[in-house]
Amino acid sequence: MITPNFKINQDPRYIHLLIKAPMAKIGETSVAFDDEMFCFHSKPYYLRLHLPGKLATQDGSEKIDWDGEKNEFVISLLKATEGEHFNDLNMLTKLLTKPNHQKNIKLNSGIEVLDQEVTEDQEDYDWYIDQSEWTEDEQKSLMGEKYGFANRYSGILSRFLDEIGDLLELKQPETTDNCERKELRLQKDKEMFDEDHYWFDLYEQKDTIKDLISFKLDWEKTTDCDSCNFNDEQIFRMKNLPKREYLLSKKEKFQLLLGLIDILFAYSYDMRTTEGEHTCESGWTIIKLSATLSWLQIHSTLPETLVTCVQRSLVHPLYRNWNLSLKVINDVYQILTKGRSFIIKCLLDVHRILNESGDLQYIFNDLYITDYCVWIQNVREETFRSLAEAMKKIEITKEMIGFDLQIIEKAAELAFNESIQ
């Protein structure tokens, strides 16, 4: 059976399902619903949804139409309570996932474990305080050190090191714990920081970088909800995401949200430096700039995460400029203020880029991005607003980066002035 593409709208009385089914057998179509459950069947399509509100009893008030021009069913179902607003009707993976009402024990074996019925994240966070590092017992498994989304994986990357060695800078992922990952990453970034490249971009590329900074991206162009609507390609990806729920501690959620900042920074940098048109190098850029992906690093606080993002952006990509990096931080802030739907759109774009790129980049989808696309659908909007507000209060200084930027810039300024005299 095929899960069709679908959209859901609502008004005070009805929810309206638009189900794309170009190969459907119209005469063999059936629709059934009861309380929060909805089922649609029309060979070769089958769709079962778990709605966030109750429907009225099946009594003939439902309406089913076929739009031959669009090859889609239009189904209108009466709400049990008129005026009730059904939340998250655009969180398609969440609607497709059957809520699990039984409490499960969390295992550390890499086996997928379902949570109790999951609605929304209800944690409050202090983004400036370390929520404590992983302990040795938490981090290790029989297969070695753990990594990936919420440290769910181990024993995987060692098989692919020859193929992804240029992308994964951590050379011994199965035996290096998170503290060592941070230390090794910072040590290598300091070694690789190129003063001449930074100097060149500061003066020789200043017009180009000025143009990149002033370029208007999607999240800066509009404030309405149209920017948060999913297109057909994004709907297709969402409905094909795995149906998972996650049993996560507050600490794990906190660290996942910091990892989200890191990934969105890398994505925003690529969007800005390609002026909204990804290139064949976009997958490489996103993985390289994200310490979460390239070093499997778990971040401790929001300031530390932003410092790491800036450090990576001044060491690895084509354009290495302080003001550009600060602009990208603002891009991440703008994305967060757009809310959950827009964040998911960005993650789905990352997912597409890595799937379509070479060099086994899809592995980072398997380890991180796919789970992020599913999990984010259950995070409260308030959490993203809190994270955005915290970002706005943080001032990243050149001293925090640790590359002697002020000394380099002063020397560059003196040399530049001498050259034009």
Boundary (domain end) residue, out of 63, 89, 115: 89
C-alpha 67/C-alpha 7 separation (Å) is 14
Identify the H or E element spanning 233.
helix 232-239
Alpha carbons 242 and 229: distance in angstroms, whole number = 21
Give pLDDT, residue 121.
Answer: 52
Other Cβ atoms within 10 Å of 229 Cβ, number:
14
> Which pairs count as long-range contacts for 269-275, CB under 8 Å and 24+ apart, including other chains?
269/313, 269/317, 269/325, 269/328, 271/217, 271/331, 272/212, 272/213, 272/215, 272/217, 272/324, 272/327, 272/328, 272/331, 273/212, 273/317, 273/318, 273/319, 273/324, 275/212, 275/215
Q: What range does the domain containing 184 cover?
A: 136-419
In a domain, 97, yes or no: no
**Claim to verify: residue 21 and residue 170 sit in the same structural domain:** no
For residues 356 and 216, state if they share a domain.
yes
Same domain flag for 29 and 174? no
Is residue 111 one of the residues assigned to a domain?
no
Question: Does residue 98 lie in a domain region?
Answer: no
Per-position pLDDT tens, the chain of length 421:
789 999 999 999 999 999 999 998 888 889 999 889 999 999 899 999 999 999 998 888 889 999 988 899 999 999 999 999 999 999 999 999 887 644 443 434 343 443 433 444 556 787 777 765 444 445 555 557 899 999 999 988 988 888 887 899 999 999 999 999 999 999 999 999 999 999 999 988 999 999 999 999 999 987 655 557 899 999 999 999 998 888 899 999 999 999 999 999 999 999 999 999 999 999 999 999 999 999 999 999 999 999 999 999 999 999 999 999 999 999 999 999 999 999 999 999 999 999 998 788 999 999 999 999 999 999 999 999 999 999 999 999 999 999 999 998 888 778 767 666 6
Q: Among all chains, which residue has been given the structure tokens 């980049």?
A: 361
Residue 363 burial (10 A CB sphere; 0-12, 13-18, 19+): buried
Q: Are residues 369 and 306 in the same domain?
A: yes
**101 belongs to a structural domain:** no
- Structure token pair of residue 133: 């590092």
| 100 assigned to some structural domain | no
d(CA 78, CA 76): 7
Q: Among 55, 89, 123, where does a domain finish?
A: 89
Return phi, psi of residue 294, to 5°. Answer: -80, -20
> CA 58 to CA 418: how far, in whole Å?
83
Residues 112 and 118 sit within 8 Å (Cβ to Cβ): no
Residues 171 and 44 in one domain: no
Same domain, 85 and 140: no
Residues 196 and 314 in one domain: yes
Tally the domains of the chain. 2
Q: Do 178 and 275 fall within a single domain? A: yes
Q: Is residue 283 located within the same domain as residue 387? A: yes
Whether 341 is covered by a domain: the verdict is yes
Q: What are phi and psi of 325, to 5 degrees?
A: -60, -40
Q: Is the peptide bond before 22 cis (omega within 30 degrees of 0)?
A: no
- Does 103 fall in a domain? no
Q: Say what the pTM is.
A: 0.86
Residue-wise burial string across 391-409, b where 16 or more C-beta atoms lie within 10 A, e elsewhere: beebebeeeebebebeebe
User: Roughly what angle, to the nearest 10 degrees, separates helices 250-273 and 322-338?
Assistant: 120
What is residue 33's DSSP assignment? E
Query: What CATH number does residue 42 fall under?
Result: 2.60.40.790
Are residue 266 and residue 356 in the same domain, yes or no? Answer: yes
- Domain for residue 334, yes or no? yes
What does the alpha-carbon distance between residue 312 and residue 310 come to, in Å, rounded to a whole number?
5
